Amino acid sequence: MSRIIYHIDVNSAFLSWEAVYRLYHLGGQVDLREEVAAVGGDMAMRHGIILAKSIPAKQYHIQTGESIVEARQKCPHLKIVPPNYGLYEKCSQAFMEILREYTPDVEQYSIDEAFVDMTGTQGLWGEPLVAANRIRNQIRDELGFTVNVGISENKLLAKMASDFQKPDMVHTLWREEIPAKMWPLPVSDLFFVGRATAKKLLNLGIRTIGDLAGTDPCFLKQHLKKHGEVIWGFANGIDVSVVQPVPPDNKGYGNSTTIAFDVKDASTAKLVLLSLAETVGARLRAAGVKAEVVAVGIRTYDLQYFGHQMTLYNATDITIEIHRYACRLFDELWDGTPIRHLGIHTSRIKDGINIRQLDMFDKTNYEKLEKLDRTVDAVRRRYGKDSIKRAAFVGSQIDHMGGGISKEKRTVDYTKIQID
């Protein structure tokens, strides 16, 4: 039996979810999706980038990921609304619940998109186009926002199909449709071809996906190494990956934060690292794993990036131990240039078996530290993460659990916003 795979993607997700919430819950009269509007971060906190934009905003060439300053240079009257990740999580959950009404084989690919394996469900929901339109209509009618559905025999082609004309559309990209529908597209539209790769391909005279598909893979490997073979396969519609309802284990845990001011002293930087170690350690413990490699990343005020890592003698999930190694890496890496962004990342993840190589010169009571961390985790789970914090953060402008989605992005005080 041929596989039937859908890729379902919410149209302008963050903006759509905000628009629906304002219309149906806040009494709004204006649909943000029909305005020149975008969801953007807080410029004062230096998170001032475009996270999602409306279709009318695309006419001004507003791009996701560019700064609000750049976007407003293109369109001075661009309407910016703040992000509300708490709302997005609820909308995403409702979206996934509808998909799981049709099949248990749903792989959440991101907060606003999923792969769905509909193989063998024709007897329940009809032929692929019929079932896809049924799902699309149900999401629009029950949740108020629209999606695109791409249909094919593998995940790659389904994802390519869902990126065709938007919004609120269903598209197929079966293997026999590749020459007509996919090959004429610019090579930059192919999944896994980023800006740097697209530039290299253009320099090689490869402009369309069809050009790439017809290129000798050995030639591509010479210029792009293994990645060249991978994208050649994608250009020819080759993808053997399967829909995974249960996500694979993480290969690493990390967190980073953009600081509201340039950090110019080591003590402040190490306090930021402590706040990141708190969140990274908590995630490791929640997953029941430990990390054997710790890395620190620094982005300076002029957007230069530097990184450094080390392999630990013993895998750990202890906050203070992660922080200690992070500070050592920081001292070896930092040259005094003002810092805009800091991150801690861990890898080489091990099962959280409590085995530690003894060191006769190390007098640290690691068992006590582990019990302390788990007690703090339990308090925070029950009473909230702000219920207990280290004394070093009292009176500090540094969040005691930094990185990820900040508190100001989790909710929005709509009483302070004019809802049109």
Q: Which of 35, 113, 278, 321 is catalytic?
A: 113
Mean of the pLDDT values across residues 405-420? 76
Q: What phi, psi does 116 have (nearest 5°)?
A: -130, 125
Entry pTM: 0.84
113 an active-site residue? yes
Task: Report the helix count and the strand count for the chain, using DSSP H and E.
Answer: 16, 12
Task: For residue 242, name the pLDDT band (cuts at 50, 70, 90).
Answer: very high
Structure tokens at 37: 């509007």
The one-letter amino acid at 61:
H
- Structural domains in the chain, sorted by start: 1-177 (3.30.70.270), 182-235 (1.10.150.20), 252-408 (3.30.1490.100)
Mean of the pLDDT values across residues 6-11? 97
Structure tokens at 224: 């792009």
Mean of the pLDDT values across residues 196-213? 96
Question: According to the model, what pLDDT value does residue 339 have?
Answer: 95
Work out whether the CA dihedral 159, 163, 165, 167 comes out positive or negative: positive
State pLDDT tens for residues 97-134: 999 999 999 999 999 999 999 999 999 999 999 999 99
Q: Are the C-beta atoms of 204 and 190 separated by less than 8 Å?
A: no
Q: Could you tell me whether strands 147-152 and 170-172 are parallel, antiparallel, or unpaired per DSSP bridges?
A: parallel
Residue 31 CA to its chain's centroid (Å) = 26
Mean of the pLDDT values across residues 190-194? 93
Average pLDDT, the chain: 92
Question: According to the model, what pLDDT value does residue 397 have?
Answer: 86
